[in-house]
Amino acid sequence: MFGLFDKITEFFQEIFIGIIQANLEAMFLDINNNVSLVATEVGKTPSGWNAEVFSFVKNINDTVVIPIAGIIITAVLCIELINMVMEKNNMHSDTDTFDFFKYIIKMWIAVWLVSNAFTFSMAVFDVSQTLVTKAAGVINTNAVLDSMDVAAMVEHLKDESLWNLILIALDTSLVKLSIQVVSIIIIVITYGRMIEICLYSSVSAIPFATMGNKEWGQIGTNYIKGLFALGLQGLFLMICLGIYAVLVKTIHVTTDIHTSIFGVLGYTVLLGIMMLKSGTIAKSIMNAH
């Protein structure tokens, strides 16, 4: 009778050990795959990320935004001309012709900037891609634990009681689900940054149209700061991934499997939080608001 009970217990132990092992392997595989995906996506330019979206955004810029920017720059240049004449001599006849020459040069530069605003925006992200690519050569984003560590965890489970195995199976399932949720959030942050880049770039001509005026010029200046902040955020995301990979590899597998898996969960949650804050940090450094 007791031998039958032992066989039943052993049977269920093997089932739960298999569940725990599957959870552990899937958990670390999911982490590494998502980290690798993010590292790949961060290093892409808008055109490399999705050619159709890039074409759509460029078409919006060319057909919708540039005509609006043309109206704005016309108003700005008219205001600048009126201010120049009135501040110079209060509409008297002793106008310096050199001032008009400078105005024409300024007007030509302003129109040229508006016409090429989208190209300038893309150039910012070409530079950021170079930063990310160079960082990728230095940063190791492989966040998977050694297979021997996972094997050691599974081997230790054979000495656990059935109730402990049930508890560990529930813990690993919970941790696996939590890590998958954090991984989805991380992917959303990565793709959200790319969509934000597309939104910024699609209206680039409008803030560039304001740069010819002292009062309105801060709009264009802050826009350029925001562009560089988005580019810098890509580098920060890579640094976060590199730090996370190092932290995961420093986890020491102990006889207490709970400590190991919740350590991985803690680092994953920390990664998600820091990636959420990466945009704010980049904007604070570039003083963009």
Closest CA to 49 of 166, 258, 161, 196: 196
Contacts of 238 (CB under 8 A, 6+ apart): 39, 42, 43, 132, 135, 136, 139, 141
Position 14, amino acid: E
- Distances in Å between the Cα of 127 and the Cα atoms of 14, 124, 284 are 54, 5, 20
pLDDT tens profile 213-229: 777 778 888 888 888 89
Q: How many domains does the chain have?
A: 1
- Distances in Å between the Cα of 240 and the Cα atoms of 46, 49, 181 are 21, 21, 18
* DSSP symbol at 146: P
Q: Is residue 11 part of a domain?
A: no
Q: Is residue 109 part of a domain?
A: yes
Q: What is the pLDDT of residue 49?
A: 82
DSSP-H helix ranges across 116-216: 117-138, 147-157, 162-202, 205-209
Q: Is residue 45 part of a domain?
A: yes
Q: Give the span between the Cα atoms of 54 and 48, in whole angstroms.
A: 8
Q: What is the pLDDT of residue 61?
A: 87
Q: What is the pLDDT of residue 152?
A: 66
Here the tokens at position 99 are 């001032």
Q: Are 73 and 114 in contact (CB under 8 A)?
A: yes
Three-class DSSP category at 203: coil
Q: Give the span between the Cα atoms of 82 and 88, in whole angstroms.
A: 10
* End-to-end Cα, the chain, rounded Å: 74
Q: Is residue 6 part of a domain?
A: no
Q: Is residue 9 part of a domain?
A: no
Closest CA to 45 of 230, 224, 204, 183: 230
Q: What is the pLDDT of residue 87?
A: 64
Q: Give the span between the Cα atoms of 193 and 233, in whole angstroms.
A: 9
Q: What is the pLDDT of residue 198?
A: 87
Residue with tokens 């109206």: 71
* DSSP symbol at 158: T
Here the tokens at position 59 are 């078409």
Q: Is residue 221 part of a domain?
A: yes
Could you tell me the residue range of the domain that residue 100 belongs to? 19-286
Q: What is the pLDDT of residue 48?
A: 80
Given a cut of 70, the residues of the chain with pLDDT beneath it are 1-9, 11-12, 28-36, 84-99, 138-155, 157, 159-160, 251-256
Burial 77-110 (b: 16+ CB within 10 A, else e): beebeeebbeeeeeeeeeeeeeeeeebeeebeeb
Q: Is residue 10 part of a domain?
A: no
Q: What is the pLDDT of residue 173?
A: 82
